[in-house]
Structure 1
Amino acid sequence: MASSVFWVSLCVFALALSISSASEDSHVLGYSPSDLHSEPKLLSLFEAWNLKHGKHYTAAQRLEKSRRFHIFRENLMRIDAHNKKEGSTFKLGLTRFADLNQEEFKQSRRLGLKLPVHRLGSLRHHSNRKPAPSSIVNDLAGSVDWRSLGAVTSVKDQGMCGSCWAFSATGAIEGANAIATGSLVSVSEEELVTCSSASGCDGGLMDEAFEWVINNGGIATEETYPYSSYSGISAACNTGLEEQYKSVSIDGYADVTPYSEEALMEAVSKQPVSVAIEASAWDFQLYAEGVYNGTCSSDPYDINHGVLLVGYGSDNGVNYWIVKNSWGSSWGDGGYIRMIRNGSPFGICAIHSLSSYPLKHASTAPAIAAIAES
């Protein structure tokens, strides 16, 4: 018994060493097909995954660890089965959520969009209606990526707080401000979570965040008012900071015409856009790379997550959106996901259903605005 424990521990140590340098370059832990047919290798892989994500279990938590291992193994089998499919445009991997089943993931407060029924009530009645193609779309660039134009901050992590709406809104504000001023400034999600009239970690809407920033006369920077709601517990609003620091302001906001791929393309060609999606599908949870065309719902009544649309493009004839998430860089492709542009009214994961962006007037002629207009 002691020798077998030593052998498993040695395997874990060797595997940890083998991934230590790779983990700097790879955000999602890799696996070998041979791992699926060996219990010691599966255990070693699970231990390496726990190490990568900073998860530790005490002796008293052995039953919980065993449960997590079984879920991890089941997810790995599904990942491998999907990745063996011919013709799939995306791959799955051992993301940071690989030890959660789908129901646990739905309940983990990694989402947080509150469904605005008053705005979505008429969408289903237009599910078969496609708007006339805009002539403006014909004049758009073949691809847009606001990351390369200096209008997108690094990937952030909302943690166990249902604050996706705040991260989506700040991302759009950061982009609008960068384009208008030429300066990329990271702004505070924590201020929105704790000081706005939204429900903090219990969810909210991007438009409500924009309205609060306008009425407040601005928002503090991330450095001034850092995020502290990662655990899901929000502190009270720091009124001193909130009143003193209004570093970035916006002049208004606009909603994108719903159920229109063309309208959304036109909007994101000008700046990053806040969008709502349905993000609780198991293959979205485990997405690693490629152009996602998975099992998420495209019903606008199922949207549950706010993210940031930062561009669009094509890969071998497959059109896609570029989406920045708020689940850290150890999910997806460094925190991003490419989602198929399929021409349907609601779009993949209902991405066409609820989109908006802040308005910011340029006071000078900054470099980013000049690039965007060229």
Structure 2
Amino acid sequence: MDRRVAVLLLSSLLFSAASTSEDPLIRQVVDGGDDQVLTDHHHFSIFKRKFGKSYTSQEEHDHRFKVFRANLRRARRHQKLDPSAVHGVTQFSDLTPSEFRTSYLGLRSRLRLPKDASKAPILPTENLPADFDWRDRGAVTGVKNQGSCGSCWSFSTTGALEGANFLATGNLVSLSEQQLVDCDHECDPEEPGSCDSGCNGGLMNSAFEYTLKAGGLMREEDYPYTGTDRGACKFDKSKIAASVSNFSVVSLDEDQIAANLVKNGPLAIAINAVFMQTYMGGVSCPYICSRRLDHGVLLVGYGSAGYSPVRMKEKPYWIIKNSWGDSWGEGGYYKICRGRNICGVDSMVSTVAAVQTTSQ
């Protein structure tokens, strides 16, 4: 069969596949060939349709296509470096790495701790369950979406406090990220320029410090998320739904992290998100990953049996709740392997305790 005819036949099959709920071009990286430009145009057409993408001009469209092609190459590299996960086309495939970091990350990576933070006590680890997931115990709210605002740190903070509040009161209440975005400007006086800054980034421990000083956080329904930091602070102390009793920094030891997770609820953690822009599923365990922390997420559980067909063995993993909506990853969640502090996942871990408030 003539190569051009074969390509056109393949193209029709690809567009047909795009109408299904499990689009193979969106689910995996496809190797290129001699007609890579034509194939990439089909990828791009399916991507635009699936994620509702539109551009203001032909110039912008052409620029985004070039970025998209570069991200296809990145996804293929990521697949080789991280074969136990699936990498491919995501809703972020038309963004440069710089644009992605600016709009969807936002962790200020200083490691200095606020004065009220303390080290979590060492916990016994002998009888930890092999698998554990706070989602099964009602302590985790639904996956949220930070939008194109670098406010990941606020979602990590509220997620940890939502879980702690559940343990303290028995009620799961969705808390307000927007209160943190608008009102939390907690700074480290010894480090200029280190303040929590809405869509321009922040740090979970500083947000816990703010929450402790402010008296607590309001419900999300009383102070809904807007995805911008241009509004005035609308904090109403009479509507506090959860308050911080104390917060602690957990040891880098993975058994201690697991023990604190089981005892104290979901944990606020930081991670390097370089592989997350192209991640689609599976247990991410890249051969090489920077430990420079740039994204705040929520650790909700762990598993012992994440099968890696490439490496032919079971892989223990952490279960991480992200804040990019449920169309990303595995329903909004990320699995990353345990055991070697991959991508810095063990480097900045905090636990928070809540007290019951009168407005529950």
CA deviation vs aligned residue, 1:67-112 (integer Å, no higher than 9, x gap): 21122123224434654x5992111021111112323323x33111
5 Å matches for 1:129-208? 136-197=124-185, 198-208=196-206
Matching residue within 87, 100, 105 for 1:92: 87
Change (3 A) 1:153 1:35: farther
TM-score, scaled to structure 2: 0.80
Check if 1:49 corresponds to 2:43: no
CA deviation vs aligned residue, 1:198-253 (integer Å, no higher than 9, x gap): 32122111122222222222211111111012xx44311114xx233112223221
Q: Is the Cα contact below 8 Å between 1:288 and 1:332 reproduced in 2? A: yes
Q: Counterpart amino acid of 2:48?
A: N
User: Who is 1:123 aligned against?
Assistant: none
Matching residue within 62, 65, 68 for 2:61: 65
Distance in 1 separating the partners of 2:29 and 2:246: 51
Instruction: Quote the sequence identity (%).
Output: 40
Q: Is the Cα contact below 8 Å between 1:276 and 1:305 reproduced in 2? A: yes
Q: Is the Cα contact below 8 Å between 2:26 and 2:89 reproduced in 1? A: yes
CA deviation vs aligned residue, 1:344-367 (integer Å, no higher than 9, x gap): 3xx11112211112112579xxxx
5 Å matches for 1:255-334? 255-257=249-251, 259-270=252-263, 271-279=265-273, 281=274, 283-294=275-286, 295-298=288-291, 302-314=292-304, 315-316=306-307, 317-334=314-331
Structure 1, unpaired ranges of 5+: 1-7, 121-133, 364-374
Change (3 A) 1:176 1:48: same
Q: Counterpart amino acid of 1:297?
A: S
Taking only aligned residues, the RMSD between alpha carbons, in angstroms, comes to 2.9
Check if 1:352 corresponds to 2:346: yes
Residue 308 of structure 1: SS of its match in structure 2? strand
Distance in 2 separating the partners of 1:199 and 1:211: 14
Q: Counterpart amino acid of 1:101?
A: T
User: Who is 2:72 aligned against?
Assistant: 76
Distance in 1 separating the partners of 2:109 and 2:82: 34
Residue 320 of structure 2: SS of its match in structure 1? strand
TM-score, scaled to structure 1: 0.77
User: Who is 1:125 aligned against?
Assistant: none
Distance in 2 separating the partners of 1:18 and 1:141: 42
Distance in 1 separating the partners of 2:317 and 2:94: 29
Change (3 A) 1:250 1:292: same
CA deviation vs aligned residue, 1:268-302 (integer Å, no higher than 9, x gap): 112100011122x2x3210111111124312xxx2
CA deviation vs aligned residue, 1:7-35 (integer Å, no higher than 9, x gap): x9xx79x9677545506xx7992368488
Matching residue within 103, 128, 131 for 1:109: 103
Residue 114 of structure 1: SS of its match in structure 2? coil
Q: Counterpart amino acid of 2:250?
A: V
Q: Counterpart amino acid of 2:330?
A: D
Q: Is the Cα contact below 8 Å between 2:198 and 2:229 reproduced in 1? A: no
Distance in 2 separating the partners of 1:144 and 1:264: 12
Distance in 2 separating the partners of 1:32 and 1:212: 43
Choose between structure 1 and 2: higher helix proportion. Answer: 1
Q: Counterpart amino acid of 1:166?
A: S
Distance in 2 separating the partners of 1:165 and 1:196: 11
Structure 2, unpaired ranges of 5+: 1-7, 115-121, 186-195, 308-313
Change (3 A) 1:352 1:220: same
User: Who is 1:366 aligned against?
Assistant: none
Matching residue within 332, 335, 338 for 1:335: 332
Matching residue within 213, 216, 220 for 1:218: 216
Choose between structure 1 and 2: higher strand proportion. Answer: 2
Check if 1:249 corresponds to 2:237: no
Distance in 2 separating the partners of 1:168 and 1:65: 34
Distance in 1 separating the partners of 2:47 and 2:165: 38
Q: Counterpart amino acid of 1:63?
A: E
Q: Counterpart amino acid of 1:154?
A: G
Change (3 A) 1:28 1:320: farther
Distance in 2 separating the partners of 1:207 and 1:266: 20
Q: Counterpart amino acid of 2:169?
A: T
Distance in 2 separating the partners of 1:210 and 1:249: 10
Distance in 2 separating the partners of 1:118 and 1:360: 23
Distance in 2 separating the partners of 1:235 and 1:341: 40
Q: Is the Cα contact below 8 Å between 2:106 and 2:200 reproduced in 1? A: yes
Q: Counterpart amino acid of 1:161?
A: C
Distance in 2 separating the partners of 1:243 and 1:89: 47
Distance in 2 separating the partners of 1:297 and 1:157: 25
